[in-house]
Chains A and B, each alone.
Chain A
Amino acid sequence: MRKLSFGKAINEALDQEMERDEKVFVLGEDVAKMGGDFGITRGLWKKYGDKRVKDTPLSEAAILGIANGAAMAGLRPVAEIMFADFITEGYDQLVNNSAKIHFMFNGTVTCPLVVRTANGAGFHAAYHHSQTPEAWFLNVPGLYIVAPSTPYEAKGLLIASIRDDNPVIFLEHKLLYEMEGEVPEEPYMVELGKARVRKEGKDATLIASQRMVYLALEAAEELSKEDIQVEVIDLRTLFPLDKDAIFDSVAKTGRVVLVNEAPKTGNYVNEISQTINEEMFEFLKAPIKRVTGLDAPTAFAPKLEEYYLPHKEDIIREVKEIVEY
């Protein structure tokens, strides 16, 4: 099958959806003529023009405000927030508006918008260009959070997100943009709310998303040499959570390590831990462990950033600990 980079797969999804549905439009900083700071919207402005590909001034509040208003009026905006860290400037529009519009209107209006944003550390860009923000949104009912890890899923999940009537925060890990993978040329959807078992195993379950999936797979590979068979689940959609996939695996392995690159305290994965605790306690053979970023801002210097981020070795250590528990 044809191979495409993660970034190009997203670009193709945008192009195909804009072609299919006149209501879909793209807005954000530098998305038109330049084609986006990461080049993800390249070519769209040339093809669809000023009307449907809008460069905005630096105002995340306005970008997300326009997206909300336009979505309420029946359009399907895809907003780009250049770096996920900047979302705080439009945070109010997402948590107090997008998330509540369907509810406020008593079900008579939907808010079908997608907010694409580049997240994640490892880019040597310090604390305002490196964060992973899903936990910031998890406590706000009304929002979907999607976080693909492969080019195939990036395209299929983005198309599904654009066609979904709920507001979706679509996280793109910036270290994955160049990754190549097989991507069908025709439009297709990957169902929202469904995780994927990336590797089967019986001794422990690793649950991860985005770039952390690869760390988990590498750790699993190494552990298999020591005859520890680890199952790796790629969440793909962070909310709504695919409980079935998680519970099936927990029932099989009874041991869980959760992996996420945001700081440990208040981390998104804590919710998964508590969900397993409440509903699958009798299957657990050991405490649920976490491998996360440290409770500190992401520092700039490569050595400092490396120290902050989770590593394969951390995962291996935690898995061994619970296997021996």
Chain B
Amino acid sequence: MNLSKETLKELYYNMVLIRHFEEVVDEYAKKGYIPGFVHLSTGQEACQAGVMKALKETDYKFPDHRSHGVCLLAGTPKERVLAEIFGKKTGISGGRGGSMHIIDIKCRNMGFNAIQGANLVTCLGTAFASQYNNTQDVTAVFFGDGTMGRGEVYEGMNIAAKWKLPILYVLVNNRYAISTRVEDVHSYPENLSDRAQGYCIPNEVIDGNDVIAVYEAASKAVKRAREGEGPTVLELLTYRWQGMFSGDPAAYRPKEEVEIWKEERCPIKRLREKLVQDKTFTTEELDKLNKESLEEIQGMLKYALESPEPEPEEAIKHVYVGREVQGR
């Protein structure tokens, strides 16, 4: 695939934006501005930017718990994504969900379900609805290597394959489920995603830090789904730079391993070097994009910081349709 300059620019910008976004979230979580805990996707930007570029706004997206980038690129006003993480009234869900449940029906971000694996059966329903209504909308579901221990993955794949549902499975294999290494608790042939073959679903293992490879593979799988050929599993090999959540020292990982991924396999550095080498962009042009993204983030941050907290009574709104819940 020969990517246009515009596409490459967008992929680069979106990765940088996610990186800067996560840095701000990390900083403000540690400063105590963000309640609860946040899962940062620093290091996994290519998985999110690459797949999202292959999807349309009308495609259904089921992000995973480490998916700020997916939510950021889905089409929601970005400042409202950050405001949700801050638990503010102006957050996309009015502060009822936070970092793990950024959700927006307008751009069909169906939200993360914090019960790992649950979305692997819920996603069948939106894909079924596309088929039922005879639209070509695809459903993309993100999940990690840890989730491969859940039965819903396989119960879902069986039906997805049999009904030829338009699903893109995005298995983000960052090698660790909290502290547990994938190979320590899973039994599989060469690749984790090879299990899909047992359900007659094709799988492809991709370098998840190569945004161009991710985008190309996702585009191919999405096309296949749109044309009624059924689901595909993309296994994206990547690594999270941080611990499980912001503040987790991740002592369970060898320092050298983390260093290799940071220094030698950074998805942003990698694309940057390629773009300069190919003379697609100059270093100055790319620096300018970095600066633009920082400015965009500052705008979001200002919005999130200045937004009011939700009214307490919002806690009991929208529990039922047409029925109020008794307050204090």
Contacts and interface: CB of A to CB of B under 8 A. Distances in A.
- Most chain B CB within 10 A, of A105, A109, A164, is at A105
Interface stretch (B66-74, B150-158, B262-270): B150-158
A60 to B, nearest CB: 9
A139 interface: no
B111 A65 contact: no
B321 A166 contact: yes
- Most chain B CB within 10 A, of A59, A65, A164, is at A65
Interface stretch (A66-74, A169-177, A287-295): A66-74
B126 A70 contact: yes
A293 B60 CA distance: 46
Nearest to B314: A106
Interface in A18-53: 25, 51
Nearest to B137: A73
B286 interface: no
A62 B317 CA distance: 29
B41 interface: no
Interface in B270-317: 317
Given A69-B128, A72-B110, A62 B152 contact: yes
Interface string A143-175: 010000000000000000000111000000000
Contacts of A106: 92-94, 96, 103, 318
Contacts of B188: none
A314 B110 CA distance: 50
Contact of B115 (A57, A72, A92, A105): A92
Interface string A109-130: 1100000000000000000000
A57 to B, nearest CB: 6
Interface string B154-178: 0110110010000000000000000
Contact of A141 (B103, B121, B319): B319
Contacts of B151: 61
A59 B105 contact: no
A61 B126 CA distance: 15
A97 B322 CA distance: 19
A103 B129 contact: no
A59 B155 contact: yes
B51 interface: no
Nearest to B160: A62
Given A59-B158, A72-B110, A73-B60, A67 B105 contact: no
A142 interface: yes
A33 to B, nearest CB: 15
B91 to A, nearest CB: 9
A69 to B, nearest CB: 2
Contacts of A73: 60, 125-126, 129-130
A165 B323 CA distance: 11
Interface residues of A, number: 40
Interface string B88-112: 0000111011000101011000110
B40 interface: no
A104 interface: yes
Given A57-B158, A61-B121, A69 B126 contact: yes
B321 A25 contact: no
A75 interface: yes
B122 A51 contact: no
Contacts of B320: 102, 141-142, 144, 166, 240
A141 B319 CA distance: 7
Interface in B116-134: 118, 120-130, 132-133
A224 interface: no
A235 B50 CA distance: 54
B115 A104 contact: no
Contact of B152 (A65, A72, A77): A65
A72 B129 CA distance: 9
A164 B321 CA distance: 9
Nearest to A142: B319
B325 interface: yes
A54 to B, nearest CB: 8
Contact of A72 (B96, B125, B323): B125
Contacts of A77: 125
A104 B123 CA distance: 16
A103 B118 contact: no
Contacts of A105: 93, 103, 105, 111, 318
B219 interface: no
Interface in A193-248: 240
Contacts of A92: 115, 118
Contacts of A97: 113, 118, 122
Contacts of A61: 121, 151-152, 155
Nearest to A109: B105
B321 A66 contact: no
B132 A141 contact: no
Contacts of B162: 57
A73 B152 CA distance: 20
A271 to B, nearest CB: 14
24 contacts: A25-B132, A56-B159, A59-B159, A61-B155, A62-B152, A64-B121, A65-B120, A65-B124, A68-B122, A68-B125, A69-B121, A69-B139, A70-B125, A70-B126, A70-B129, A71-B125, A73-B60, A74-B133, A96-B115, A97-B113, A97-B122, A104-B96, A106-B96, A108-B105
What 5 A-B pairs come out closest when comparing CB atoms?
A: A69-B125, A65-B121, A73-B129, A107-B318, A165-B321
Given A73-B60, A104-B96, 7 more contacts: A57-B158, A65-B121, A69-B123, A72-B125, A72-B126, A93-B122, A166-B323
Interface of A: 25, 51, 56-57, 59, 61-62, 64-75, 77, 92-93, 96-97, 102-110, 141-142, 144, 164-166, 240
